[in-house]
A and B are shown apart, each in its own frame.
Chain A
Amino acid sequence: MTTDIVVDDDAAAAEADTRQPTTSSRSRRRRRLWIFLGPALLLNLVWGWYPLATSFVLSFTDARLRGDVTFTGFESYERMINDPLVADAFRVSIIFAVLSIVLTFVVPIFVAILLMEMPRRTMRWMMLLWFLPLSSVGTAILWRYVYNTDYGLLQSIATGLGFDRQPFLNSSDQVLFWLVIPGLVLYGPGLIYLATLQSVPTSYYEAAEIEGAGFWRKIWTISLPRMRPVILMMLMFAVIGNLQQFEWPKLMTNGGPGGASRTAVMYVYDILNQLRYADATALSILLFVLIMLIVGIMRFAIREDPDAPPRRSLREFVTRKGDL
């Protein structure tokens, strides 16, 4: 079917779409699809997948300061595994992550659950105040001052309460504990939990009410299961993020005292500063393996959401018919 009326390009395409798709409209649509997808595809390829792939390659070479790069097999890994500081750094990272998750992960979940109990206006105000963000660089600076052993606020509170003078960040036994504490009043991903809770229908709670469920029972059987996928996702992010902690130790203690708060990523940074590229990459891949191991164990150990459709393999996911 042909017409000699000249119409707007896009209108013609749309019109063509509603009838038999012609080759030209299909190619035009394809072109438009690539215009939409292209920039993001390119950026994720160059800054996401490409460094990830070359990271593995680099770790098997002797890349340093300058000069030719040759493959040396597992030499950098051997060097890293035999470096006593690496074991220390991994220990610090793991202790930091465990402390941080134990102390700070549960609080925002319960804050979000309790916030939903408040009248609407109160909730909006409290939400604003609870989740008011403070720059994490700024937080680190503030706490470095608060922890000062000579004139810090915490020292004066401790002595005021009758304790001995505390070493805080200067004690290699306590430093990790004190580094985690500022996270307690930051309330992490509370907003995400709150948003998830808002989508739970009120009728669930009303039904539970009629069945005679109490306060804790409702949290346990309705709120928490509904939040479960999001909580698991945030737990995953928390594990990945905390094992890669860099900012707070760097800003508050710079790894001190005597390396007691030098995390794995801080050690990667130190090695990178010595321009030992291959060693730094090998160390970061060791950390990557550790993280993936923990994430894998978590996924295996924690039973999936009973409501969720059965998990599919990657191959099934790609080849299945129907919508995503």
Chain B
Amino acid sequence: MPALLPKVGMRQPKLRYSRAAIAGFLGIGVLLHLLPFYYIISTSLKPGAEVVRNPPTFIPSAITFDAWKLVLRIGDESQIVQLVKEPFWVYFANSAFITVIAVGIGLPVTALAAYANSKLQSGRGARVSFLFFIGTMMVPFVVTLVPMYLLTLNFPFTMPDAPMIPGTDTEFPTLRLWDTPWAVILPAIFVPFNFLLFKGFFDTIPNSVINAARVDGGSELNIFRRIVMPMAVPVFAVTAYMSFGSVWDNFLWQLVTLQSPEKVTMSVATYQLIERLSTAGSTGGGAAAQAEGMGDLLNSGLTWNGMMVLAILQSIPIFIAFLVCREYLLRGIKIRGLK
């Protein structure tokens, strides 16, 4: 605990006031931060007409679960069938599958590589592979966007079409990952920043611990599983939380690679729905079209309260990941610079 305020004379009025002032400032910040949470939840519980009424209400006049029922029923024969093709749990399951697989494979792969780099390699080999792993970290995502998109289209080639096999008329066989969950999962497995976190931690484990285990006859994999992993729980928690959030909440890449209605994820489906709502007239277009579009939507019952339900559904997994990992988050972050 650093002490910016002096420890001596803690009870002096001046010090007590400054402590209270800090607490008050932080408290206001917390309230500001929680306000969006409250507003999302309260809006999702309002009846459809109240959501588009001016002035907006801060406290719902009547609490209903209509919007929730409606969203969970999307894909039945309700009128929103033209707006969204599949029930929303399909999108939720798609997101969950992609995220769980990407994090579940990604953490062991990244951790093993960082461990090998930290403890099994040494000298020049270690430095070269370190640079190889870290070198892609600072590369902006947009640079590799197009080649990666083409790569998912014709797997080993980053071209719009696979090249011809020389001397023949046939194309090279290619693998189409595009529009499958693997197009999202495979690039998300190895994350250089996670590698950096793992490596920073493994470097702090004394070599003598590992050597002692080797003398006792542990195989490298067993040493990693039984000795290193229990020590590294906080780092695993941090990396799990961060990569979970980044895969679940990813938008651009999933928008580019997923298209079939039954394969898109929550974030993409939510975007498509909100775009259709707005082209139906809730935010753009002429006044008449707007009124008409709103009327249709109001009849179907889906307005902003339904969108808030989607926003909540989108947030809940990240929320749970945060609460599960909370104990370890502070202990697990130890970044060693790239010196």
- Check if B160 sits within 8 Å of A14, measured CB to CB: no
Cβ 8 A contact of B251, one of A116, A122, A250, A288: A250
Q: Is A293 an interface residue (CB 8 A)?
A: no
Cβ 8 A contact of B161, one of A14, A67, A186, A256: A67
Measured between alpha carbons, how far is A321 from B126 in the docked complex, in Å?
11
Q: Which residues of B contact A64 (CB under 8 A)?
A: 160
**Interface of A: prevailing SS:** helix
- Check if B140 sits within 8 Å of A187, measured CB to CB: no
Whether A198 touches B29, Cβ cut-off 8 Å, given contacts A244-B142, A308-B337, A324-B130, is: no
Q: Is A317 an interface residue (CB 8 A)?
A: yes
Q: Which residues of A contact B6 (CB under 8 A)?
A: 209
Whether A321 touches B113, Cβ cut-off 8 Å, given contacts A36-B220, A51-B144, A229-B337, is: no
Q: Is B146 an interface residue (CB 8 A)?
A: yes
- Check if A236 sits within 8 Å of B138, measured CB to CB: yes
Q: Is A128 an interface residue (CB 8 A)?
A: yes
Cβ 8 A contact of B127, one of A37, A141, A275, A324: A324
Whether A41 touches B129, Cβ cut-off 8 Å, given contacts A136-B249, A142-B311, is: yes
- Check if B33 sits within 8 Å of A132, measured CB to CB: yes
Measured between alpha carbons, how far is A206 from B151 in the docked complex, in Å?
57
Closest to B241 in A: A133
**Interface of B: prevailing SS:** helix
Measured between alpha carbons, how far is A285 from B312 in the docked complex, in Å?
36
Q: Which residues of B contact A32 (CB under 8 A)?
A: 120, 220-221
Measured between alpha carbons, how far is A269 from B142 in the docked complex, in Å?
9
Measured between alpha carbons, how far is A222 from B3 in the docked complex, in Å?
11
Partner-binding segment picked from A95-103, A150-158, A171-179: A150-158
Number of interface residues of A (CB under 8 A): 135
Number of interface residues of B (CB under 8 A): 126
- Check if B109 sits within 8 Å of A318, measured CB to CB: no
Q: Is A260 an interface residue (CB 8 A)?
A: no
- Check if A139 sits within 8 Å of B36, measured CB to CB: yes
User: B-side interface residues toward A, CB under 8 Å?
Assistant: 1-7, 18-19, 22-23, 25-27, 29-30, 32-37, 39-40, 43, 51-56, 58, 109-110, 112-113, 115-118, 120-124, 126-133, 135-136, 138-151, 158-161, 186-187, 189-190, 192, 195, 203, 214-222, 245, 248-249, 251-252, 255-256, 266-267, 270-271, 274-275, 278, 283-284, 304, 307-308, 310-312, 314-315, 318-319, 322, 326, 329-335, 337, 339
User: A-side interface residues toward B, CB under 8 Å?
Assistant: 8-11, 13-15, 17-18, 29, 32-33, 36-37, 39-41, 43-44, 46-52, 54-55, 58, 63-69, 111, 113-118, 120, 122, 126-139, 141-146, 148, 150-153, 155-156, 160, 182, 185-187, 191-192, 194-200, 202, 204-206, 209, 215, 218-219, 222-223, 229-230, 233, 236, 240, 243-244, 246-247, 250-251, 254, 256, 264-265, 268-269, 272, 275, 277, 280-281, 284-285, 287-288, 291, 295, 308-309, 311, 314, 317-321, 323-324
